[in-house]
């Protein structure tokens, strides 16, 4: 049986899901480790059903007030009084990866840094594409980016459970730490002179992925060492952020 995860580490090791369907699906999937289930006290049929399923599987169960459950889920209108912390085995704090890189200076790393992608569907698609392309890590900040939850898991077709997600407080802080660790920071800009196809790819590179509407924040963009464009001879001005990131991820994979 896996060792219990320290509650203080859960925000960087677990994805919180809520609602009857999402929680029961997690409990019934033997491939997933559920760290804890939280149900609303006296919440009715759904919390009772989920509590029974958690007990049957031997998962830690906690009862809280309905108000407290809503605060934990962040979505009181849809949580139905049930929340679960599900372990994502490949998810770690960014600092853990940086520590590993310090121990092995020759280790090659190709990362994505998400900044301001607030639509869960886009974040889920980015996670799915990047994981499929073999990107070494997807830096997902807790601030300014869609919360990792049921909608992201659904959009990723379940890939979010095993994606190499690296958690951090915010994108500028992540970029500062990556710069100190010797990473080249690359941003996408339709007006850039250099094409993505012509970009020399260093051993340590992080691509900054900006939001759906405003792109990368000014604070994050200040860390970019080089801007590149995705050539679009068809005359289209820009691509959806998930589509653009998919092209980046698979271009990195093509280079090997």
**Coil, strand or helix at 141:** strand
Q: Residues 84-125: pLDDT tens digits? A: 999 999 999 999 999 999 999 889 999 999 999 999 999 999
pTM: 0.89
| Cβ pair 138, 167 in contact under 8 A | no
* pLDDT, tens digit (0-9, with 9 covering 90-100), for 177-222: 999 999 999 999 988 999 999 999 999 999 999 876 667 788 999 9
| Cα–Cα distance list, 73 to 30, 34, 79, 212, 249 (Å) | 23, 15, 7, 24, 31
Residue 161 backbone phi and psi in degrees, to 5: -60, -35
Which domains are assigned to the chain? 7-87 (3.30.1330.30), 92-255 (3.40.1280.10)
Task: Assess contact for 150 and 19: CB atoms under 8 A.
Answer: yes
Q: How far is CA 161 from the centre of its chain?
A: 10
């Amino acid at each position: 049986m896996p060792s219990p995860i320290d509650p203080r580490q859960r925000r960087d090791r677990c994805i919180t899901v809520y609602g009857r369907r999402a929680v029961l699906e997690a409990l019934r999937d033997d491939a997933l480790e559920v760290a804890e289930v939280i149900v609303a006290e006296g919440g009715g049929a759904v919390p009772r059903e989920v509590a029974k399923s958690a007990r049957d599987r031997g998962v830690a169960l906690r009862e809280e007030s309905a108000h407290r459950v809503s605060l934990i889920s962040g979505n009181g209108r849809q949580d139905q009084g049930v929340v679960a912390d599900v372990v994502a085995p490949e998810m770690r704090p960014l600092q853990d990866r940086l520590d590993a890189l310090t121990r092995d200076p020759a280790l090659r790393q190709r990362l994505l840094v998400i900044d301001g992608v607030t639509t869960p569907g886009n974040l889920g698609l980015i996670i799915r594409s990047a994981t499929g392309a073999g990107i070494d890590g997807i830096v997902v900040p807790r601030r300014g980016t869609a919360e990792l939850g049921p909608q992201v898991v659904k959009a990723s077709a379940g890939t979010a459970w095993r994606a190499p997600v690296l958690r951090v407080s915010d994108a500028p802080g992540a970029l500062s730490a990556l710069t100190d660790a010797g990473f080249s920071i690359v941003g996408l800009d339709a007006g850039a002179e250099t094409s993505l196809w012509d970009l020399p790819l260093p051993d340590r590179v992080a691509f900054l992925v900006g939001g759906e509407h405003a792109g990368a924040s000014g604070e994050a963009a200040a860390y970019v060492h080089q801007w590149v464009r995705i050539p679009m001879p068809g005359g289209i001005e820009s691509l959806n952020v998930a589509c653009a990131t998919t092209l980046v991820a698979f271009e990195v994979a093509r280079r090997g």
